[in-house]
């Protein structure tokens, strides 16, 4: 059954004429449906949609988009909502229609998750519905001894959602972001056309949609690259008091073959050793680290992982030792752990469960995610980590900083990254009470102002801007192409109005 609920605005009363198979229910009493889709993980923005669509099939979405194009005098905005993990209202449709994509899981016998192996190409792939969560993709592919190679730290995100942004984590330096590991997609464009695209077929749409912030099409299927899955991981963390040594060692590790995951983070009084991302350190080790934090103010943690299975179990320790040779971390401050591949990838879920039990998960998250060029990272540390965050000593959450290589990103995609060969992914993952949001948002703005005044050439990841001029500045030389693609695939500017790029 397809449901469109809470149609209060007269322009949308004509939606009752929309022919969606089986049945269409329009109710002025379904406030729960519209309220549930009027906010997101960030808890910072509330935008009430005029309607909510729970599609029984991709055909329902096609009909909805076509109806906005041709069935009304003024087109209404449409936003695809996966897990609702955006933080600034990017998956909302103020006075428009939100499509609840995960409802397809109840009816989606066509896409779902289908695993294949191509003997000619020598690798596997999974055809995955855009509404599917990455954690479900992981478990489905592992049944065949296979798994995707690029991940986000949190697996309870939709495939369509991360591919509309980039999908980054500690594997990005080696395999590229998730958008670099897609072979083919089914997409519903803003004109209501259902199209299958790849690098070789309708490539302009393919590259537009990847990292395209939902502006050009709704992803209903993606073909994801798979490789043989490991079973176990060696998980190591080492500590630094010197940011220069910390970044130098990270850059060394991503320049050589061997490590499967490299990610850095900061530890300070307001961002302690254990957090919701991972409870890695024992109680005694936490006490040891806290004494270092008291001494230095900030401790930088380098996190490394080496995958293995039964065939490589006898050699993994020797390989890891060789890879770590010459690293300049604080002597005696090396911490090791061994866990399963699944538990490592899904490590954030334990933190989520713990925070939910304390009522601390569904709180505001004024996050700020940035790409910082390698040439600017020392200045960023001095001006942001030390002078703003440490000095202000505000309640915060995990702070991530890790490098990746531009060669792993395809410049034809819509996503914007710095021009330099190596750049850093920085995540300021704040959590706060509602009364602290304004203060942390003010800190975020101070950070962005510092970067602008210091000409650090940063780019926002999961970007959020208030003016078209700011969006044009964000895309830079890509803006003209981005605008042309919008005209080609969504000329009436129907899709993803919550991003506020064109409206």
Number of residues in the chain:
503
Please pick, among 127, 153, 303, 490, the residue that the annotation labels catalytic.
153
Cα separation, 74 vs 57, whole angstroms: 25
Residue with tokens 């700020």: 368
State how far the Cα of 488 lies from the Cα of 491, in Å rounded to an integer: 6
Backbone φ, ψ for residue 58 (5° rounding): -65, -25
Beta bridge partners of 100: 81
What is the C-alpha end-to-end distance of the chain, expressed in Å? 32
How many angstroms separate the CA atoms of 130 and 160, rounded?
4
Q: Label the pairing between strands 146-148 and 334-340.
A: unpaired
**Catalytic residue of the set 131, 249, 263, 303:** 263
Block residue for tokens 């041709």: 70
Contacts of 359 (CB under 8 A, 6+ apart): none
Query: What is the Cα–Cα distance from 269 to 232, expressed in whole angstroms?
Result: 32
Rounded Cα distance between 140 and 103, Å, is 19
Q: How far apart are CA 479 and CA 273, in angstroms?
A: 40
40 counts as catalytic: no
The closest alpha carbon to 21, from 80, 76, 61, 70, belongs to 61
**Catalytic residue (choose from 40, 60, 83, 85):** 85
Alpha helices by DSSP H, listed for 396-478, are 437-453, 468-475
Instruction: Answer yes or no: 421 catalytic.
Output: no
Tell me if residue 85 is catalytic.
Answer: yes
Triad 316, 322, 325: Cα angle to 5°: 140
CA distances from 458 to 413, 450, 477 (A): 18, 11, 15
Q: Which residues are catalytic?
A: 85, 153, 263
């Amino acid at each position: 059954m397809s449901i469109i609920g809470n149609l209060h605005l007269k322009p949308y009363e004509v939606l009752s004429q929309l022919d969606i198979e089986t049945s269409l229910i329009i109710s002025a009493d379904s406030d729960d449906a519209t309220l549930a889709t009027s906010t997101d993980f960030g808890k910072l923005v509330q935008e009430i949609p005029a309607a909510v669509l729970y599609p029984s099939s991709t055909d329902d979405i096609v009909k909805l988009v076509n109806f906005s194009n041709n069935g009304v005098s003024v087109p209404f905005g449409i936003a695809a909502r996966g897990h609702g993990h955006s933080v600034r209202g990017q998956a909302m449709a103020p006075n428009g229609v939100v499509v609840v994509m995960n409802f397809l899981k109840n009816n989606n016998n066509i896409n779902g998750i289908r695993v294949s192996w191509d003997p000619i190409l020598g690798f596997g792939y999974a055809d995955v519905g855009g509404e599917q969560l990455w954690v479900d993709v992981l478990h489905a592919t592992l049944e065949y001894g296979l798994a995707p190679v690029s991940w986000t730290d949190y697996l309870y995100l939709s495939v369509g959602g991360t591919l509309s942004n980039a999908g980054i984590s500690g594997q990005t330096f080696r395999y590229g972001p998730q958008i670099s590991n897609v072979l083919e997609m089914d997409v519903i464009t803003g004109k209501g056309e259902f199209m299958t695209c790849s690098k070789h077929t309708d490539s302009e749409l393919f590259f537009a949609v990847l990292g395209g912030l939902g502006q050009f099409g709704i992803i209903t299927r993606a073909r994801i690259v798979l490789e043989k899955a490991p079973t176990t991981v060696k998980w190591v963390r080492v500590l630094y008091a010197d940011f220069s040594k910390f970044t130098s060692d990270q850059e060394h590790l991503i320049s050589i073959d061997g490590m499967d995951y490299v990610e850095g983070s900061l530890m300070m009084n307001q961002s302690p050793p254990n957090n919701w991302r991972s409870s890695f350190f024992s109680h005694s080790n936490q006490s040891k680290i806290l004494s270092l934090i008291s001494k230095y103010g900030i401790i930088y943690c380098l996190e490394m992982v080496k995958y293995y299975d039964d065939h490589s179990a006898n050699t993994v320790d020797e390989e890891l030792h060789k890879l770590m040779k010459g690293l300049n971390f604080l002597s005696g401050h090396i911490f090791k752990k061994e866990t399963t591949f699944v538990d490592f990838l899904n490590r954030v879920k334990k933190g989520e469960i713990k925070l939910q039990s304390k009522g601390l998960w569904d709180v505001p998250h004024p996050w700020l995610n940035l790409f910082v060029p390698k040439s600017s990272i020392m200045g960023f540390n001095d001006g942001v980590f030390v002078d703003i965050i440490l000095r202000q000593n505000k309640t915060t959450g995990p702070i991530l900083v890790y490098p990746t290589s531009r060669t792993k990103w395809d410049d034809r995609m819509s996503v914007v990254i710095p021009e330099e060969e190596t750049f850093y992914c920085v995540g300021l993952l704040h959590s706060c009470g509602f009364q602290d949001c304004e203060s942390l948002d003010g800190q975020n703005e101070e950070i962005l102002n510092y970067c602008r005044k210091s000409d650090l050439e940063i780019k926002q990841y999961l970007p959020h801007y208030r003016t078209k001029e700011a969006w044009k500045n964000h895309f830079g030389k890509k803006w003209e192409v981005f605008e042309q693609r919008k005209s080609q695939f969504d000329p009436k500017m129907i899709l993803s109005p919550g991003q506020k790029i064109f409206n």
